[in-house]
Amino acid sequence: MENKIVVGVDGSAASGTAVRWAAQEAGRRHLGLHIVHGFRATELYYGGGLAIPSKLIDSLREAGEQVLKDAERTARGVVEDLSISTDMPTEPPVPLLIDLSREARMIVVGHSGRSAFTGMLVGATAAMVASHAHCPAVVVRMREDSGDLPVSGPVVVGVDGSPNSEQALATAFEEASLRNAPLVALHAWSDVTYDDFYGASRLPSPWEAIRDEEERLLAQRLAGWQEKYPTVEIRRELLRDRPRHALLEHSAQAQLLVVGSRGRGGFTGMLLGSTSQAMIQHAQCPVLVVRPEKAK
């Protein structure tokens, strides 16, 4: 799996879109594509512990095999000579994808699936994989107005100075370089507000006195990566409060949004911070969630 992008499929329209995106990225990176469909035969029981008839299981297995064939056909339509493998283990999709993420280069899922309730913002599989994956996880989202995958625009990354956001920044530079796209770095110097306790009143702060220092710090964070990726055009934006609104606004023109799974305000053991949760639920482009590197 270390030279493959893994994409989970269930036959839904969202998973088909995820396959197209994953195939394009595998071709861009000269990697293989591994398409998986979790076949939950062990969960198929009648009440009282009676097993489902074997004919029904065979029928469901055939349907799963057709899902894989359709997904492979979709991927071939994007990159004809792509190296593709498929698999249908008898495992639920979430633990299956999380286990594969231990070795995969990237895990890709659609933003919702067949089991998603009408109106649900993000499917359970997408949220769980983004929370627990051991490698970068992409939740493929689309434009609200057209329902299409974005094919142009900048790569956008949120920078808050936390170790996880530094990893996200490194990933964002690599992604921008691969796409020959500009990089928009959004930096929130403070995410402290009175919202939770006193309505929308902001915590008073000497903004002008701090702005120059924050701009200098942001420039320092970007400088080393700019040297490594000299062809990447950087656009810096400095925010004075929580970055969620600005990131969501930029996602409407971006081709990829990169976020750390936790920011500087994340609690130890927290799987997804509030900003990353908001992105995988509301962004208008694919969202790449970068997990913290585990201490060695």
**What CATH code is carried by the domain that includes residue 53?**
3.40.50.620
The phi, psi pair for 130, rounded to 5°, reads -60, -30
In this structure, are 92 and 10 located in the same domain?
Answer: yes
Which amino acid appears at position 131 of this protein?
A: S
Whether residue 68 lies inside any domain: the answer is yes
Q: Which of 111, 140, 169 is the last residue of a domain?
A: 140
Whether residue 20 lies inside any domain: the answer is yes
In this structure, are 107 and 165 located in the same domain?
Answer: no
In this structure, are 126 and 216 located in the same domain?
Answer: no
* Closest of 107, 113, 147 to residue 130, by C-alpha: 107
Q: Which of 76, 111, 140 is the last residue of a domain?
A: 140
In this structure, are 168 and 103 located in the same domain?
Answer: no
What pLDDT score was predicted for residue 207? 60
What pLDDT score was predicted for residue 206? 62
In this structure, are 197 and 112 located in the same domain?
Answer: no
Domain interval for residue 194: 155-290
In this structure, are 86 and 214 located in the same domain?
Answer: no
State the first-to-last Cα distance of the chain, in angstroms, to the nearest integer: 21
What pLDDT score was predicted for residue 265? 46
Q: What is the CATH number of the domain that holds 257?
A: 3.40.50.12370
Whether residue 249 lies inside any domain: the answer is yes
What pLDDT score was predicted for residue 165? 78
Whether residue 112 lies inside any domain: the answer is yes
In this structure, are 176 and 82 located in the same domain?
Answer: no
In this structure, are 53 and 174 located in the same domain?
Answer: no
Whether residue 148 lies inside any domain: the answer is no
What pLDDT score was predicted for residue 293? 65
Whether residue 147 lies inside any domain: the answer is no
In this structure, are 200 and 76 located in the same domain?
Answer: no
In this structure, are 169 and 267 located in the same domain?
Answer: yes
d(CA 247, CA 41): 41
What pLDDT score was predicted for residue 9? 92
In this structure, are 91 and 175 located in the same domain?
Answer: no
Whether residue 53 lies inside any domain: the answer is yes
Please count the CA atoms within 13 angstroms of the CA of 166 that sit on its side-chain side. 10
d(CA 30, CA 171): 17
d(CA 211, CA 236): 13
What pLDDT score was predicted for residue 272? 62
One digit per residue, the tens of pLDDT, for the chain of length 296 reads 679 999 999 898 889 999 999 999 999 999 999 999 987 655 555 555 566 677 777 888 888 899 999 999 999 999 999 999 999 988 888 889 999 999 999 999 998 755 433 333 346 778 888 888 999 999 999 988 777 899 899 999 988 777 777 888 999 999 999 999 999 998 866 544 444 444 445 555 566 667 777 787 788 878 888 889 999 999 988 877 667 888 889 999 999 999 987 644 443 444 566 778 888 888 999 999 997 765 43
The phi, psi pair for 281, rounded to 5°, reads -95, -30
- Evaluate whether 277 touches 12 at the Cβ level (below 8 Å): no
What angle in degrees, to the nearest 10, is found between the helix axes of 244-251 and 274-282? 30
The number of folded domains in the chain is 2
Which amino acid appears at position 168 of this protein?
A: A
**How far lies 191's CA from each of 23, 152, 159, 266, 291, in Å?**
37, 30, 12, 12, 21
What pLDDT score was predicted for residue 158? 86
In this structure, are 14 and 100 located in the same domain?
Answer: yes
Q: Which of 140, 170, 199 is the last residue of a domain?
A: 140
Whether residue 233 lies inside any domain: the answer is yes
What pLDDT score was predicted for residue 172? 95
What residues contact residue 211 under an 8 Å CB cut-off, 6+ apart?
Answer: 189, 238
The phi, psi pair for 230, rounded to 5°, reads -65, -20
What pLDDT score was predicted for residue 175? 96
